[in-house]
Every structure is written in structure tokens, then in C-alpha cells.
Amino acid sequence: MAANAPDATTPQSTGEASPPRSAGGETLAPSTILPVRGPDLPFILALGLIASVYVVLIVGMISSTMFYVQWPIVGEVFTNPRYRYAVLLTLISCSITTILSVWIAVPTAYLMTRVDFPGKRLVDAILDIPIVLPPLVIGLALLMLFQTPPGRFLQGYVRFTYAIPGVILAQFMVSSAFAIRTMMAAFAEINPRQEQVAVTLGCTRAQAFWWVVLPEARRGMVPAATIAWARAMGEFGPVLVFAGTTPMRTEVMPTSIFLELQVGNLGMAAGIAIVMVALALAVLILMRWAGHGAKML
């Protein structure tokens, strides 16, 4: 972009008074940070004190787990076939859940933010149900759903209860709700005028969506995918109830931690937890990096 900046080489023949620009040819954005001055200091310090309680708790939590853990045990997570299976199933199921969640979230969030239809408020409330329902209840409700005739019919083709598709469905039910909310915030931030201009330029609604709105929404897809992944990886209750805890079959990492705690093996539970922390951080960094790339678009 900067290579084509006009300032040094191209005379502005209209003589327009451009705002000050950086070397990269960008105009200066208005400042969003107010400088802290002497009299403001007690107020800012008080805010900092409150915020630091939470930050210290997070850091303390992670670091004490790291101190507690016996590192050879962490190695066992990758060498023991049972735990290795749980790690792999977690990675694969979370990835599939994330893709499915974003795939559902984009059209749903677009409809909810850009189209008026009868019963919209009701649909909006329904979309919040998986967020507010206790996770165990979601698992139980899924079990009930698959006891109904349509559920049984579907099971005839793909087995969900106490099977891997059940793990993914249990994760998906919760992750999607969060991905939809994140995408709705992203669509709400996009200037609706862009889409309106696109249709005056000859686009159909679908063309305006694919060519103008969706490229813009890519920035929102990164946080939506991040939150979907994080929720999916942490999902425990619905997976436990709906898909079970069978080792080498439907055991995911949170289930492993639960099972180890059940038998009093705190060391192994901490070892698995550390791997989960590392995975979560890796995904967070990857998504931030992807998000940075999307912002550059």
C-alpha cells in the first residue's frame, strides 16, 4: 500500500489540504488514549488495583499448575495410547466443531443483523438458550432429542449417542451460540451503507453479501472461530452425558482430567491440564496472528 502513497512523487493538483500523514501514507487517526495526569493518578491506580486482582488470579492459576505438574507425566500424555487418543480426539473434534460453528454463525448472524422477519425476537432469544442452559442439561436434552422418532431415525444412519459424532454435536451446540453472538457483533460493526451502495451498483443481495459484506466479515470470523474452539475444547458436561466417557472411544481431554480426579490421580490430571493450557494458548496465538492478517486486508 505504502509503495503507492502519493505524497512525495505525485503533485496533488487539486491542491487539497490533506490531513497529516505518516511515512506509510496513512492519515493520523484521532487519539483514543487520554494521557494520565497527576490528579487522575489515584483514580487510575484504583482501577488498576481492581483489574490486577483478576490478572494476578489468572497468572497464579496457570503458574501454580505449572509448578505442581511433574514434567515426565506430561510426556506420558503423548506416549500413553489412551491419553494420546484423547488429545487427538480433542484436536479433531474441536477443529470440526469450529468449522461447523463458523459455518452456521455467518449466515445466522447476517440474518439476525441485516434482515427483518417475523419472530426475529423469538429467534434471538432461542439463540441464547445454549449460553444460559447448564451444560449438563444440554447433554441431557440432547439424549432426549435422540430418543424421539426423528432422533432415532437419524441414529439409524449416524450413531450420535456415546459415539464420536455425539462428542462433536455436544461441543457444537454450545460453541455455535458463542460464535453466532461474536459474528453478530462483527456484522453490526460493518457499515450497512456499503451493502446499500453495492446494490445500487447493480449487485443482487447475494452478490453484495459475497463480494462486499463477507470479505469485511472475515475479521469477525477469526474471533468467532477462536471462541468456538475455546468453548469446544472446554466442553465437558454435555460430552459426558451425551457421548459418555469410554476410553479410546469418546474420551476427550476434559473427560480425562475428570476421570483421573475420580481415581485421585491429581498428578496426571495436572499433566493433561498443562497440555490443554498449551493447546489453548497455541490456538489463541494462531488466531491472533490470523486476525492480524485479516486486519491487513
Partner 1 sequence: MIRLENVSIRLNGFALENVSFCVPTGEYAVLMGRTGCGKTTILEAICGLRPIAAGRIYLMDTDVTHLVPGKRNLGLVPQDAALFTTMTVEEQLGFALRVRNRPRAEIRARVEEMAQLLNITHLLKRRPHGLSGGERQRVALGRALSFRPRVLCLDEPLSALDDETRFQMYDLLKLAQRHEHVTVLHISHNREDADHLADRLLRLENGQVVEYPLKPGSTCSLDSDEIPSCK
List residues near partner 1 by CB under 8 A.
1, 3-6, 9-10, 12-19, 21, 24-27, 191, 193-194, 196-204, 207, 211-212, 215-216, 218, 297
Retrieve residue 269's grid coordinates: 490430571
CB of 28 to partner 1, least distance (A): 9
13/31 with CB nearer partner 1:
13
Q: Which is nearer to partner 1, 180 or 198 (CB)?
A: 198
Q: How far is the CB of 188 from partner 1 (least distance, A)?
A: 15
Which residue's CB is nearer to partner 1, number 15 or number 81? 15
Residue 20 or 38 having the CB closest to partner 1: 20
Shortest Cβ distance from residue 224 to partner 1 (Å)? Answer: 17
76/195 with CB nearer partner 1: 195
Residue 84 to residues 48, 80, 184, Cα–Cα distance (Å): 42, 6, 36
Round to whole Å and give the CA distance between 78 and 95.
19
* Terminal alpha carbon distance of the chain: 11
Nearer to partner 1, 5 or 266 (CB): 5
- Nearest approach in angstroms of CB 191 to partner 1 is 6
DSSP assignments along 22-88, one per residue? -TTSPBPPPP--PPP-GGGHHHHHHHHHHHHHHHHHHHHHHHHHHHHS-HHHHHHHHHSHHHHHHHH
CA atoms within 13 A on the CB side of 254: 19
Quote the radius of gyration of the chain (alpha carbons, Å). 25
State how far the alpha carbon of 94 is from the alpha carbons of 169, 236, 237, 254, in Å: 10, 12, 15, 12
Report the nearest approach of partner 1 to the CB of residue 290 (Å): 16
Least distance from partner 1 to the Cβ atom of residue 22, Å: 8
d(CA 113, CA 183): 10
Query: Are 295 and 216 contacting, i.e. CB atoms less than 8 angstroms apart?
Result: no
- Min. distance of Cβ 275 from partner 1 in angstroms? 38
Residue 131: all three cell numbers together: 449460553
Considering the complex, state which of residue 47 and residue 201 has its C-beta at the smaller distance from partner 1.
201
- Enumerate the H helices of the chain as residue ranges: 41-68, 71-79, 81-114, 120-132, 135-145, 149-155, 164-189, 192-200, 205-208, 214-234, 237-243, 253-262, 266-296
